[in-house]
Amino acid sequence: MRFDPERHHRRSIRLRGYDYTQPGAYFVTVSTQGRASLFGEVADGEMRLNEVGRIVQRCWEGYSRTFSAH
């Protein structure tokens, strides 16, 4: 399906005027198509990563070392 900005748009939830390039803690949500459980499962209120989830976690943690503001 081709991208159609009239159909495929989202309202920005960014704070107007906030500089997101400055260091800080940010909340990031990763969603999969159809909300498929590709990275593991939530059991007893805890995320239990599968092998793919652990790979993603290691990559994600590597970003903080690569793009650290310190």
Question: Where in the chain are the domains?
Answer: 1-70
Which pLDDT does position 21 carry in this prediction? Answer: 85
What sign for the dihedral angle of Cα 38, 30, 52, 46?
A: negative
Separation CA 27–CA 5 (nearest Å): 25
Q: How confident is the model over 32-70, as pLDDT tens digits?
A: 899 899 999 999 999 999 999 999 999 988 887 777 655
Q: How confident is the model over 10-24, as pLDDT tens digits?
A: 778 888 999 988 888
The distance in angstroms from the start CA to the end CA of the chain is 42
Separation CA 30–CA 53 (nearest Å): 12
Per the structure block, which two tokens stand in for 16?
Answer: 């107007």
Which pLDDT does position 1 carry in this prediction? Answer: 67
Which pLDDT does position 70 carry in this prediction? Answer: 52
Residue from 33, 34, 36 nearest 53 by CA? 36
